Structure 1
Amino acid sequence: MTAPGGTWDRVMVKVTRRAVVAAGVLAAFAAGIYYVARAESAPKNARKGPPPVPVITAKVEAADVPVVLAAIGTVQARASVAVRSRVDGHILETHFREGQTVAKGDLLIRIDPRPFAAQLKQAEANVARDRAQLAKVRADLARYGALTERGVASVQKHEEAQAAASSLEATIRGGEAAIEFARLQLEYSSIRSPLDGRAGSLLVSAGNLVRGTDAAALVVINEIRPVYVSFTLPEHHLGEIRRRMNEGGLVIEARPPDDPRPPATGAVDFVNNAVDPATGSIGLRATVANADERLLPGQFANVRVTMDTFRGALVVPAQAIQNSQKGPFVFVLKAGSLKDNQAEVEQRYVKPGTQFEERVVIREGLAAGDIVVTEGQLRLQPGSRVVIRPAAQTS
């Protein structure tokens, strides 16, 4: 006979087994629902992908691009004169300010003119005396000539009078030369500017004694309108330089470093006759009008020489070009992918050429009208989605 307790235990074991099986079925059902829901939502998330990358773009354009060579030039005065005294004397006064622009013929310095004025008067008086004596001797000569013809006076007297007249005539010519010299000395006491230019520092002040043999200058005047700008270019450009000089000349632009104003322009007027073997460069010189006098002798200037012009060249902003192990490339918006200011990009390798200011000539790899990315490339890869933003909003 079975005990009541045993029957109860068997009943409880069956109930427990059924509960476990039911719980397992419910768990499997819930898991199935979860995975089905996840599987349905996964394609939607996959299709959504990362957000588009904000970028700035620019269109590939055709433009005329000058071929420019850059160099560092030195500004030189077209003429420079060290003004010295040509006579001895004390400086009475100066008639210019240091750094002043002067014109040719302007009075600069006046040396005490009184000794030279006195010498001039003395020379004039000597000539006047000699002329008076010559007049008397000529009268004597005429008289002796008449008397000699009549046999009253000797031929010797006539010859002596003739010699005296000739001597006085020579003396007068010497006196006239002395007058001219005295006038020059008096003129030299007023020192005038020999050219248009700008005066430098006054090296000898009023009151000092100067001599015509002094080596030191009183002031240096530089002609700075126009000025010369001398520079060098690599010798392999010599053929092109000669061609351009024969066709009408080379135009340059010169600007002092860190000067924001537009550059001064000029034309090359001299090409050296030899190449420097140490540097492999050829020397050139250009004349620049320098109307605003911003270029001063001795100053360095950034020089740009326009050698040629590429007509209709394809250009892009320089910052659009990136570099890789395979060479330079750009990110380009795929054709037909632009919609609602968003597009897909592709990587395209290019062959860049001459750079002018902020633009680069593209010799191969792009076509006019292509749209390239100029900012935001670091976050891009081929196939990335981008959103185009105006330049003012991409900081």
Structure 2
Amino acid sequence: MHRLLAFSLVLAALSSCQRAQQKSNAAAPPPPVTVAKALDTELIEWDEFIGRLAAPQAVEIRARVSGYLAEIHFREGSDVKAGDLLFTIDRRPYQAVVDRTQADVERAQVRLELAKMEARRAKALIESKAIAVEEIDQRNQALAEAEASLRSAKATDSQARLDLEFTELRSPISGRIGNVLITQGNLINGGTNNSNASVLTTIVSVDPIHCYLDVDEQSALKYRELRRLGQRASALDEQIPAEMALANEQGYPHKGHIDFVDNRLDPGTGVIRSRALFPNPGGLMAPGFFARVRIPGSGKYRGLLVQDNAVGSDQGKPFLYIVGQDETVKQVPVELGPMHEGMRVVKTGITKDDRIIVNGMALVRNGTKVTVKEELEMKTAMLPAAAASSTKQ
């Protein structure tokens, strides 16, 4: 009897709780959500590669003449311009040679003037038959020898002056200079055809700068197909844009273009070498740095962008929550594309007029009713709540 009474009391309590819960559920308002329409814009898909920076020009500064290194006129690691004086080799021995060859030129000029006078005198005497023909020939021959001697002396003098000029080593290009490999006071070896000529330093150009990247075979075939379809130009026809970032940079702040594509695929690595050219004012980038480079991987097309955190996943399949005209939530499967400027490309599944839930996703399910608290632009929806509110205001 007591057990039956206790059981009746429990049933009455449960029934009361169920009625209270149903009443509470009936009174609960639909959850508030924030929605935004997808951003309809023109898109280009980008392919990313890892590249390495390289100098367009690199020069080893070697001495053309031998001698003692007298002066160094630059600071190691500084920027130099074409024509700047870098090193001076002891000029005194070469100046002495120039003085001697100049004297030889003057001596040859005196001899030539004497030979010319003798030739003119012989020509006057031959008319009066006061000189033999053999004497005329000898004087003409002496004149020719004097002219040849003068040319030889001038050539020797020119070489001596050139060697004297080579005692001043100037920068052949503008760029950044390296460290001094032979210090002041040492005897250095020189020579234009001497592989043992001393290397004094190196110079690399840094503005603009090259970035070499290896493009895989699949990407290369895709680019050629895009070119065939007229959706992408060749690097030979026009400048293909390229964007780059260093290891410590976000996004792709450096803008350049592809200026070279190799003529064959490397069968050993399965890649084709390409090169991009980037402005480098101030020399921020240096040869040898690694960089992230991206180039267009598709033609231009119209696409839809959504906030990436608005995308949900159901057993690995992406979806978006769409709010219909009757304020009912519908879960829509979508096909996603790459990221574009912080937003996600949606290839299929939605239209530009669909209202997509961007805030409050955790409160809704497929088929539930919601209250649209706020409708924003998709760009605004990407901002934090406080910033989005102030932007809307």
User: Which of 1 and 2 has greater Rg?
Assistant: 1
Equivalent position to 2:124, from 125, 146, 149: 146
CA gap 1:38/1:127 in 2 versus in 1, 3 angstroms: closer
Give the structure 1 partner of residue 331 of structure 2. 347
Confirm whether residue 288 of structure 1 aligns to residue 265 of structure 2: no
| Counterpart AA for 1:44 | K
1:297 CA displacement: 1.0
CA gap 1:378/1:252 in 2 versus in 1, 3 angstroms: same
1:363 CA displacement: 1.9
| Counterpart AA for 1:359 | M
1:284 CA displacement: 1.6
Give the structure 2 partner of residue 108 of structure 1. 86
1:276 CA displacement: 2.4
How far apart, CA to CA, are the structure 1 residues paired with 2:249 and 2:73?
34
Confirm whether residue 225 of structure 1 aligns to residue 211 of structure 2: no
* Secondary structure of 2:273's aligned partner: strand
| Counterpart AA for 1:291 | P
Alignment of 1:384-395 (within 5 A): 391-392=384-385
Greater displacement, 107-116 / 242-251: 242-251
1:360 CA displacement: 2.0
Give the structure 2 partner of residue 301 of structure 1. 291
Give the structure 1 partner of residue 23 of structure 2. 44
| Counterpart AA for 1:145 | K
Give the structure 1 partner of residue 38 of structure 2. 60
Give the structure 2 partner of residue 238 of structure 1. 223
How far apart, CA to CA, are the structure 1 residues paired with 2:16 and 2:56?
89
Give the structure 2 partner of residue 7 of structure 1. none
Equivalent position to 2:254, from 256, 260, 264: 264
Confirm whether residue 252 of structure 1 aligns to residue 252 of structure 2: no
How far apart, CA to CA, are the structure 1 residues paired with 2:112 and 2:138?
13
CA shift digits 1:36-90 (9 cap, x unpaired)? 85675353034357995x8775432212222211111111111111111100111
Cα pair 2:188 2:198 within 8 Å, conserved: no
Cα pair 1:85 1:210 within 8 Å, conserved: yes
CA gap 1:27/1:167 in 2 versus in 1, 3 angstroms: closer
How far apart, CA to CA, are the structure 2 residues paired with 1:29 and 1:244?
84
Cα pair 1:61 1:369 within 8 Å, conserved: no
CA gap 1:252/1:34 in 2 versus in 1, 3 angstroms: closer
CA gap 1:80/1:55 in 2 versus in 1, 3 angstroms: farther
Alignment of 1:103-142 (within 5 A): 103-142=81-120
Cα pair 2:207 2:280 within 8 Å, conserved: yes
How far apart, CA to CA, are the structure 1 residues paired with 2:45 and 2:323?
29
Can you give the 5+ residue segments of structure 1 that lack an aligned partner in the other structure?
1-19, 338-343
TM-score (norm 2): 0.81
| Counterpart AA for 1:97 | R
How far apart, CA to CA, are the structure 1 residues paired with 2:7 and 2:254?
86
Confirm whether residue 362 of structure 1 aligns to residue 346 of structure 2: yes
Equivalent position to 2:308, from 304, 309, 318: 318
How far apart, CA to CA, are the structure 1 residues paired with 2:160 and 2:111?
22
Percent of pairs with identical residues: 30
Aligned-residue Cα RMSD (Å) equals: 3.4
How far apart, CA to CA, are the structure 1 residues paired with 2:60 and 2:329?
68
TM-score (norm 1): 0.81
Greater displacement, 241-250 / 209-218: 241-250
How far apart, CA to CA, are the structure 2 residues paired with 1:325 and 1:279?
37
Cα pair 1:267 1:288 within 8 Å, conserved: yes
Alignment: residue pair count: 365
* Secondary structure of 1:231's aligned partner: strand
Can you give the 5+ residue segments of structure 2 that lack an aligned partner in the other structure?
375-382, 387-393
Cα pair 2:242 2:255 within 8 Å, conserved: yes
